Amino acid sequence: MQDDELDTLKETIVARFPDLAGSRFRLLTQGWDSIAVDVDDRLIFKFPRNEIAQKSLIREISLLDVIRPAVTMPVPDIRLIDGSRAFSRHEKLKGSHLETPHYTRLSAEAREDLALRLARFYVDLHGLDMDTMRAAGAEPVEAWSKPDEVRVKVLPLLSGELKILAERIIASWADLPPDPYGTTYGFFDGHGWNMAFDHETGRLSGVYDFADSGFGPLHRDFIYSNFISTDLTERIISHYEILSGCALERERVEVLTGAHRLWELAEAVDDPPRIPFMIDHFSYWAAALR
């Protein structure tokens, strides 16, 4: 079935770019919104699944046109290809995902370089003019359920130390005052699956997938690197404070990280096969706190 789908997408691509007829086409892991095709490990073509996804892609392109010249971090230069089935094309950033096992093998120097590059990226991004980003299509990031709603859904799924930890996180989350730095435009998706990391050189080549970027509380933008390592997050925050002059609340970032894991678990309640995975996801992060 995947071969048939790839053949169809290849025909669409070659019809618009005949010079690619002899290239190697590879169907990438399919995302929720789009199907992606890798061509010669050099180009990425994205095909939105529906009208909503197409609007999201168009918005991402508009946002990146503002972001690209304003940040030192390489980001995709995406171009929309109009037609009966609209799709996009951009040059692939060199590298692949950065996951926890990869990070643990990095030297201290490589970890510092990675954290500094990401900190600069966040400083650049948070410095963008809000009105300019709004005009480019930026919207508020996805809202999480309220702490009480999450409590009702997740506590019956947990037991022992995990349940005690969840109760403590939810209580701390409910008591959090508004973010001291208010709302900013941010990435809000800075986990390792949105990074192009060159494992040969041990350096970050760039970041991608700005579909979930938007306006949100500044501290929330720092929770996603915890998917990779709490050590990385601490290093990013330390560099960010020096570069920006803003003192960040590490406890707030920790509480928001836990809240995010629990919110994702709450969202999985209506999809029972996902529940064990999300519990493991929360448990893995909890173990990193010890």
Domain ranges of the chain: 2-91, 100-289
Residue 51: enclosing H or E segment and its boundaries? helix 51-67
| Residue carrying structure tokens 């094309």 | 89
Q: What are the tokens at 139?
A: 């919207």
pLDDT at 25: 95
Percent of the chain scored above 70 by pLDDT?
97
**pLDDT for 78-123, tens place per residue?**
999 988 889 999 999 999 999 999 999 999 999 999 999 999 999 9
Measure the CA–CA gap between 280 and 257, rounded to whole angstroms: 15
For the chain, how long is the longest CA-to-CA vector? 60
**pTM for the full predicted model:** 0.93
Q: What residue type is 97 in one-letter code?
A: H
pLDDT at 31: 63
**pLDDT for 116-168, tens place per residue?**
999 999 999 999 999 999 999 999 999 999 999 999 999 999 999 999 999 99
Banded pLDDT at 285 (limits 50, 70, 90): confident
> Bridge-partner residues for 204, per DSSP?
197
Residue 27: enclosing H or E segment and its boundaries? strand 25-27
Q: What is the mean pLDDT of residues 10-39?
A: 89
Average pLDDT over the chain reads 94
CATH top-level class for 2-91? Answer: alpha beta
**pLDDT for 181-224, tens place per residue?**
999 999 999 999 999 999 999 999 999 999 889 999 999 999 99
Asked: is 100-289 a CATH 1.10.510.10 domain? The reply is no
pLDDT at 85: 85
Q: Is the pLDDT of residue 29 over 80?
A: no
Comparing 2-91 with 100-289, is the CATH topology the same?
Answer: no
Query: DSSP readout, 96-149?
Result: B---HHHHHTS-HHHHHHHHHHHHHHHHHHHTS-HHHHHHTT--BPPPPPPHHH
- Choose the most confident range, by mean pLDDT, from 53-57, 69-73, 277-281: 69-73
Q: Is the pLDDT of residue 272 over 60?
A: yes
Q: 33-37, 142-146, 249-253: which has the minimum mean pLDDT?
A: 33-37
Count CB atoms within 10 A of the CB of residue 271.
10
